[in-house]
């Protein structure tokens, strides 16, 4: 290939060794990494707002498309059709809430009771598990210290005889 001999030539700038990183360049790279991480955290904590904004935009697109089609079909102004589509959607939501609301509220109350039950039993069994695991962890450290030759003070016992 045409570019291949240039890669093998040691006199080309690509083959030279990069200069060591100075403090200013390291500070710029660190600042850029901090900005990227802060931006990622900001997006993570704002995910609900971002999703709601996206859902709102999609909702507006659907309303606009429906009102435009109805305006072309009926010959009435688009703003009037947008009002009618919005009121029809609100009426549908109200109707759904009136018909399914009592059932959903009963299921929600049941879910809260079950969730509280799970929370209590989870805490109890977690404490029991912790109470059982602590002595087992203490028993396991003795052979592990012997195998890895770590003394009681946490330092390596290099001069200790190996079993």
pLDDT of residue 158: 56
pLDDT of residue 14: 53
pLDDT of residue 5: 55
Please report, to the nearest 10 degrees, the dihedral formed by the alpha carbons of residues 43, 45, 48, 51 taken in order: 10
Residue 4, phi then psi, degrees to nearest 5: -70, -45
Q: Are 158 and 150 in contact (CB under 8 A)?
A: no
Sequence-distant (6+) residues with CB within 8 A of 72 are none
pLDDT of residue 36: 93
Domain boundaries, the chain: 103-163
pLDDT along the chain (163 residues), means of 10: 55 56 83 91 86 89 91 92 92 87 83 82 78 71 69 59 54
């Amino acid at each position: 290939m045409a570019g291949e001999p240039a890669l093998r030539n040691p006199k080309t700038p690509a083959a030279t060794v990069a200069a060591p990183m100075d403090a200013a360049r390291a500070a710029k790279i660190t600042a850029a990494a901090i900005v990227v991480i802060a931006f990622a955290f900001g997006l993570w904590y704002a995910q609900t707002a971002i999703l709601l904004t996206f859902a709102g935009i999609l909702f507006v697109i659907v309303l606009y498309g429906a009102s435009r089609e109805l305006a072309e079909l009926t010959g009435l102004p688009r703003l009037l059709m947008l009002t009618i589509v919005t009121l029809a959607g609100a009426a549908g939501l109200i109707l759904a809430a009136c018909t399914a609301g009592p059932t959903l509220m009963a299921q929600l109350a049941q879910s809260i009771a079950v969730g509280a039950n799970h929370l209590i039993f989870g805490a109890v069994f977690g404490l029991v598990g912790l109470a059982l695991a602590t002595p087992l962890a203490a028993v396991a450290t003795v052979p592990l210290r012997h195998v890895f030759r770590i003394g009681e003070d946490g330092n390596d016992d290099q001069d200790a005889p190996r079993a």
